[in-house]
Structure 1
Amino acid sequence: MWIPQLELYLGIWSGERLGQTMSWLRWWDNLGNLLLWSSEQADQESQRADQESQRADQESQRAQRLAAKLRELGVDPD
Structure 2
Amino acid sequence: MPWLRWWDNQGNLLLTGDERARIERQRAENQRQRAEQAELELQQERQRVEAERQRAERLAELLRAQGINPEEL
Normalised to the residue count of structure 2, the TM-score between the two structures is: 0.67
- Cα distance in 2 for partners of 1:39, 1:61 equals 33
Please list every run of 5 or more consecutive structure 2 residues that lacks an aligned counterpart in the other structure.
Answer: 55-73
Report the CA distance between 1:34 and its aligned residue: 0.7
What RMSD over aligned residues (CA atoms) do the two structures have, in Å? 1.5
User: Of 33, 44, 52, which residue of structure 2 is paired with 1:65?
Assistant: 44
2:12 counterpart of 1:33: yes
- Cα distance in 1 for partners of 2:2, 2:11 equals 18
Is the radius of gyration larger for structure 1 or structure 2?
Answer: 2
Which structure is higher in strand share? Answer: 1
- Quick one: higher RCO (CA 8 Å, sep 6+), 1 or 2? 1
Identical residues among aligned pairs (%): 44
